[in-house]
Structures are given as C-alpha cells and as structure tokens.
C-alpha cells in the first residue's frame, strides 16, 4: 500500500513538468508558424488547440487569406509529417479521397492504393464544392481516424489533422455541409485579412522567395503526441464542467434555435478549454477559457431558426453569433464566486 502511495505521489509531481514541457512545445510551434503567417497568433493558436485536442478545423474565409499556407506551415513545422491536399470539385469521387483497390496483373491480386486522406495534415480545399457522397467519405476518417474500403478497415496516421476550407461568399455550384459533417469539426475559425502593416511585411518577405521555402522543422511527431497527452493532465474543476454542460444545454432551448449543440459539442468544449489553458501556460482551466471558445467550438453546431438568420443577414453572421453567445452567458453566468470559495488544494 505504501509503495502504491509513493508511486501515486511521484506521478502527481510529474504532471507539472509534463505541462511545462508541453507549453514549450506550443511556443516553438506558434513562433515558427508565425514567421510565415504574420499577425495571426490568436487564430494560429486556435488551430493548435484543435491539434492538441486531436480535433479538426473548418476554416471559413475568402480566397487568398493564407489557409493553404497555414496547412503547409503546420506540416513543415513538425518533422516527418506528410501534407496532402484534396481540391474538391463536383466530380470528385469518394475513392479519390480514401483510395481504392486496383487489380495487379503481375500478382494476380488486388492492391490497395491509399488516397490523400492517409497523411498527417490533410487540406480539404473548398469542401462544400464536393458532392454529399464525397463529403461523407470524410466522416469515418474524422470521427474514428480510420478508413474502410472494400470491407477492410485501415488506420490513419498519428497525428492526424483535417483542415477544411470553404468560401462564405460563393454559393453557386456548392453543396452545404450536412449537420453530421459539420459536427465532426472540433472548431470553426477564420484567418481574415492581415492588416496594412502585416500585408506590407508579406510583400517584402516574398520579394525573392516564399518564407515557406526556408521554414524549418522545430518539432517532431513525438512532441505533438506529448502535447496531446498533456492536455488530459490539465485540471478542470467540477464547477466549470457543470457550467459547460449547462451552457450547451441552454443552446438547445434558446430563442431562435431549432437544434442546439450536440453532446459531441460538450466534449469538444471541455477538451478545448483544457487545451487553451495549456497553451496559455496554465495547469488549470478558468472561466475565460470557456468564454473564449464558446463561439469557435459551438457556433457551427447550432441550427438557427429563419427568424434569427434574417437578423443575422442584417447584422452580419459574426456579430449575430457574438450577440447570441453574449446573451447565453448572461442567462448562464460563470461560477466565479463558487470557484473563489473553493480551497486551493481542490483546484
């Protein structure tokens, strides 16, 4: 019994050092990617949060805002990772994504030829231009990190990150993502325009060559795995967990909502706040972590009524969603007073 107690104590002491190591990994990642994508550290941090939480990202933005550059920079930052790009078009077939079995005349047998989904970082460009059948080919890969082709299930690489993009302006010739597909994305984000000073810096940086050409790897695959393990060590108080559940539940009964966030949304938000705390250099979650991730983690999981969408068209989707979550936080406030009264050793 005494030996078991000593082992447990040593394991508890090990956690802060693992967290400190993970924070250093995150800093190296962010600093390296930011040498290519200027002035977008909060947005890059969101994507890293998804990677640390083993989730996937839907980037909704206008063309030319460095979405492809971000995917390439992530793959270049982590050594021995493979990047694959899927350019979605209406004639793209599911096997163009997953791969297919081809008959080998010499061997007189079928040989599986893997598709681009068998990469560590998969950029699915303009995902809403693929047909629903092709979009569905990504469901199993994103949720279970495996692909089943011709009755054979094959695991995907580890780590595995899907970065899907869509253009919010053009709708002609597109196929809106079904709710089941959207729910697979850990969070939804946008990079936006860089601002005048950063755009000027981009002009100067690309005078002779693209910064990606000289971007070096600063992490390896095991660093990413350590980061993902460290997220699970971050402490999230039971009061905050209860608050997360109450917030997600409130989206299901809020005015102007047809379908609220799913249980997958609850799980993603709880994992996400652990990841945000870790990237912020903390071993514990605070209410501001939850407030910061409400929109990117839950916003795309809610189906709004036509009345809300009509108002969103007048105000703009981002303003309308921000207002929705601000009202949600007023109805379900954070448990700050209760957390303040909790003993330090319980936190």
User: Residue 43's pLDDT band (boundaries 50, 70, 90)?
Assistant: very high
pLDDT for residue 340: 57
For position 288, which CATH number holds? Answer: 1.10.8.80
Other CB atoms closer than 10 Å to residue 215's CB: what's the count?
A: 18
Other CB atoms closer than 10 Å to residue 188's CB: what's the count?
A: 21
Same domain, 213 and 314: no
| Long-range contacts, 204-213 (Cβ 8 Å, 24+) | 205/38, 211/35, 211/36, 212/36, 212/69, 212/72, 212/73, 212/76
Say how far apart CA 26 and CA 300 lie, in whole Å. 26
Please check the confidence at residue 6 and state whether its pLDDT lies above 50: no
Average pLDDT over residues 67-76: 93
pLDDT for residue 218: 95
Residue with tokens 């994305």: 185
Say how far apart CA 190 and CA 229 lie, in whole Å. 27
pLDDT for residue 186: 96
Single out the residue in 189, 215, 233 at which a domain terminates: 233
Whether 5 is in a domain gets the answer no
Say how far apart CA 65 and CA 59 lie, in whole Å. 10
Contact in structure between 157 and 82 (CB atoms under 8 Å): yes
pLDDT for residue 1: 36
Same domain, 45 and 56: yes
Helix (H) or strand (E) run with residue 292 in it: helix 287-298
User: Residue 280's pLDDT band (boundaries 50, 70, 90)?
Assistant: very high
Please check the confidence at residue 338 and state whether its pLDDT lies above 70: no
Whether 221 is in a domain gets the answer yes
Single out the residue in 233, 266, 284 at which a domain terminates: 233
pLDDT for residue 342: 54
Average pLDDT over residues 201-226: 92
Whether 18 is in a domain gets the answer yes
Same domain, 54 and 196: yes
Same domain, 206 and 62: yes
Overall number of domains in the chain: 2
Whether 144 is in a domain gets the answer no
Whether 113 is in a domain gets the answer no
Say how far apart CA 299 and CA 284 lie, in whole Å. 24
Whether 240 is in a domain gets the answer yes
More confident residue, 13 or 185: 185
pLDDT tens readout for residues 160-192: 999 999 987 766 667 888 888 899 999 999 998
Same domain, 265 and 337: yes
192, two tokens:
């936006």
- Fill in the DSSP letter of residue 197: H
Please check the confidence at residue 2 and state whether its pLDDT lies above 60: no
The 187-189 sheet, strands edge to edge: 83-87, 121-125, 161-166, 57-60, 187-189
Percent of the chain with pLDDT over 90: 62
CA 228 to centroid of chain Cα atoms: 13
Same domain, 273 and 307: yes
Listed in sequence order, the residues at least 6 apart from 229 whose beta carbon sits closer than 8 Å to its beta carbon are 18, 22
Percent of the chain with pLDDT over 70: 91
The DSSP result for 213-251, as a single string, is GG----B-HHHHHHHHHHHTTSB--HHHHHHHHHHHHHH
Same domain, 293 and 320: yes
Please check the confidence at residue 343 and state whether its pLDDT lies above 60: no
Contact in structure between 257 and 299 (CB atoms under 8 Å): no
Same domain, 225 and 341: no
Please check the confidence at residue 341 and state whether its pLDDT lies above 60: no
For position 172, which CATH number holds? Answer: 3.40.50.300
pLDDT for residue 317: 74
Range with lowest mean pLDDT among 47-56, 105-114, 240-249: 105-114
- Residue ranges making up the domain that contains 257: 234-347
Same domain, 193 and 305: no
Q: What angle do CA 184, 53, 328 make, to 5 degrees?
A: 65
Single out the residue in 174, 203, 233 at which a domain terminates: 233
pLDDT for residue 15: 57
Average pLDDT over residues 11-38: 82
Listed in sequence order, the residues at least 6 apart from 90 whose beta carbon sits closer than 8 Å to its beta carbon are 129, 130, 131, 173, 175
Contact in structure between 289 and 334 (CB atoms under 8 Å): no
Whether 169 is in a domain gets the answer yes
What's the mean per-residue pLDDT of the chain? Answer: 87
Among residues 279, 212, 219, 185, which one has the least CA distance to residue 81? 219
Cis peptide upstream of residue 181 (ω within 30 degrees of 0): no
User: Residue 313's pLDDT band (boundaries 50, 70, 90)?
Assistant: confident
Three-class secondary structure of residue 88 per DSSP: coil
pLDDT for residue 5: 39
Whether 176 is in a domain gets the answer yes
Same domain, 174 and 241: no
Same domain, 186 and 322: no
Same domain, 203 and 277: no
Range with lowest mean pLDDT among 37-51, 173-187, 293-307: 173-187
pLDDT for residue 112: 87
């Amino acid at each position: 019994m005494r030996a078991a107690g000593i082992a447990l104590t040593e394991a508890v002491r090990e956690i802060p050092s693992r967290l400190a190591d993970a924070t250093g990994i995150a800093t190296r990642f962010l600093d390296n990617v930011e040498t290519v994508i200027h002035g977008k550290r909060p947005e890059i941090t969101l994507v890293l949060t998804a990677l640390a939480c083993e989730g996937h990202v839907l980037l909704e933005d206008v063309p030319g805002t460095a979405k492809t550059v971000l995917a390439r920079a992530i793959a270049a930052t982590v050594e021995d990772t493979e990047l694959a790009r899927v350019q979605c078009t209406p004639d793209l077939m599911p096997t163009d994504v997953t791969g297919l079995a081809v008959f080998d005349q010499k061997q007189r047998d079928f040989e599986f030829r893997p598709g681009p989904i068998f990469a560590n970082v998969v950029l699915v460009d303009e995902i809403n231009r693929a047909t629903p059948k092709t979009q569905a080919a990504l469901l199993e890969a994103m949720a279970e990190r495996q692909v089943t082709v011709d009755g054979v299930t094959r695991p995907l690489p580890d780590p595995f990150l899907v970065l899907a993009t869509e253009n919010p302006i053009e709708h002609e010739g597109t196929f809106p993502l079904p709710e089941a597909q959207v729910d697979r994305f850990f969070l939804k984000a946008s990079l936006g325009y860089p601002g005048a000073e950063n755009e000027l810096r981009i002009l100067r940086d690309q005078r002779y060559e693209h910064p990606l050409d000289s971007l070096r790897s600063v992490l390896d695959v095991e660093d990413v795995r350590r980061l993902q393990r460290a997220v699970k060590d971050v402490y999230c108080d039971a009061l905050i967990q209860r608050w997360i559940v109450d917030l997600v539940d409130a989206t299901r009964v809020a005015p102007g909502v047809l379908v609220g966030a799913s249980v997958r949304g609850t799980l993603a938000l709880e994992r996400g706040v652990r990841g945000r705390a870790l990237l912020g250099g903390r071993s514990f979650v605070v209410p501001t972590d939850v407030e910061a991730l409400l929109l990117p983690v839950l916003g795309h999981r809610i189906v709004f009524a036509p009345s809300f969408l009509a108002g969103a068209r007048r105000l703009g989707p981002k303003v309308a969603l921000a207002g929705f979550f601000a009202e949600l936080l007023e109805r379900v406030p954070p448990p700050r007073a209760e957390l303040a009264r909790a003993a330090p050793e319980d936190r």
